[in-house]
Structure 1
Amino acid sequence: MTTSSLPAIPRVKLGSQGLEVSALGLGCMGMSSFYGPPKDEAEMVKLIRHAVDLGVTLFDTADVYGPHTNEMLVGKALSGIRDKVQIATKFGLVTYPDGRRGIRGDPEHVRASCEASLKRLGIDCIDLYYQHRVDTKTPIEVTVGEMKKLVEEGKVKYLGLSEASPSEIRRAHAVHPITAVQIEWSLWVRDVENGIIPTCRELGIGIVPYGPLGRGFFAGIKHEELADNDIRKLAVPFFQKENLDKNKHLLECVAKLAEQKKCTTNQLALAWVMHKGAGLAVPIPGTTKVANLESNVGAVGVHLTEEEMQALEAAVPMEQVAGTRMAGPMMNSLWHFACSPPLSMPA
């Protein structure tokens, strides 16, 4: 598929508070951190600008990506075209001088983080500001109360949460309307459909699925292609070699369906998320390659019937997925650990 033949990306409402974005966004994290060494800045600036040319308007970053360098990259890439895009960033995950990581949602940190992100991004107002993880030491009402002040001061337009449980979403929404919840959602991570998705539909809150391609699994990423410092190799059991070997047949099943549909495997997996979240979700697949970006945009033109949706879900039965989406202490910051009782994860 050539650039000229790529489908136009429609604009959609994200949530019910007035935010309008492209139906497909771009996650920028892997350009600077977590998925191996930082990529060449000039090349990433070109990629982000190319995404804008293709019709992408929603760009996702966070202060912890780098840390800080990803916000600077996004700000540089989008400088001069601010009126064409919506910038989303996050606060709350902190790295201490001794290397320990923690979560902060206290008002002082909320405000300081916002001011610092505005400066790094080189903008006057953040379009969508997320609490990256819920701080169990600070009531979410207190955190969102300070975020509300940032909206009132014109420093933030819309509020979001990431990895929050249904009850936390409700409590936050009662303080100030939440526009979007960012959560991992893909063919092999579907637990969100049992609690978060219905809650957000009820409250008129949008969903921003991260990792919609299974963090690269449905784009064909191989274990040997992962850098030694790639978080997927270090802390995502899905990507342990023995689990990737077990999960290989799932990718093969999706690939066969993609061949029948005359599209690529990543396009089919991404189209599933877009169809499943129709009217609600705007996925943000990340990439550092122009070819992958263009291929992902092609998913906008892949339309699925209910029968095709069912065939895809049957091809990736949750009970057959080997591994979990996070390991060790990192699991404790994910939304289902705030639920009672906690949801079980595939073994």
Structure 2
Amino acid sequence: MITGKLNWDILKKLLEENQGARRKEVIKGGAVGEDCAVIKLGREKLVLSTDPVTAATEDVGHIAFHININDVATTGAKPLGIMVTILAPKESSLEEISKVMGEISREAKANDVMIIGGHTEVTDAVNRMIVSVTAIGTMDSGDDVVWTGGAKVHDKIIVTKALGLEGTSILVNDFQDKAREVLNEEEMERAKAFSHELSVLKEGRLLKNLASSMHDITEGGVLGALWEVREAAGKGFLVDYDALPIRDITKKLCAHFEIDPLRLISSGSMLVTVKDADQALKILRDHQVEAHVIGEVTEEESLLNIEGRLVEVDAPLRDEIYKLYD
């Protein structure tokens, strides 16, 4: 099998056929496009999400923390705690493991999140360090969960910050020599700093009462995220290619590495659908969050408008970043 997430249709079938026992406390479990499970316990709801980091060797702890907290943030919940699993190859040093844990702890403290458990192991089952985090958030039982599947026809589609932030930071950290062929040292440092923009917790809290859906843009890039919203909501989309925010550094690197920036892992950017785009943009910009309207939700078709030519968007395959690890 090829590296990367399972194709959406295979994953959907596996999830539908393997759900274990049904529990009345579970409001909704994870599904294609829905990264969080929500459980009702008394006067509160618990929101849970889990993800590993497999496509990075630098800033692994930093990335692992934020990609999971981001998923919780998309529901409108407030993060509470995380559980951390580290699988380190035999050649790892204690200093390397400590560095990852230090990164996670620093980000957790800064975001008022507690590390409440986990597992750490050195094993010959992996050839590079794998970090998996489970994030837990809470919300009042009467508060509405923002589901990915809540997108409605004619909603405007907003993207926060810029696409490819995580992918760009991986390219300049893991493939430095090749990246330096097209970037100068100042650009290299700027690209590495993209990893410090990976949180979407702020925009999640700002838009939780306005958004019809929110979705963190991770593996598969913006086109993968749009497809996941399509699957969850049963709707289509029409997106303007020229409206997609991609920084020049990301464009340079993607051209040089021959990868599609629209299918590049993009943690740090949130996909939001709203009825009132002007109000959402004002709220975000008033709080210094960059945001762009890129299109709208439609009835069925999934289309990208490239200079007046409508191109159908296919189901996502694996993220472009994995091409570089084959």
Greater per-residue strand proportion = 2
TM-score, structure 1 normalization: 0.26
| Higher normalized contact order (CA 8 Å, seq sep 6+, divided by chain length) | 2
TM-score, structure 2 normalization: 0.27
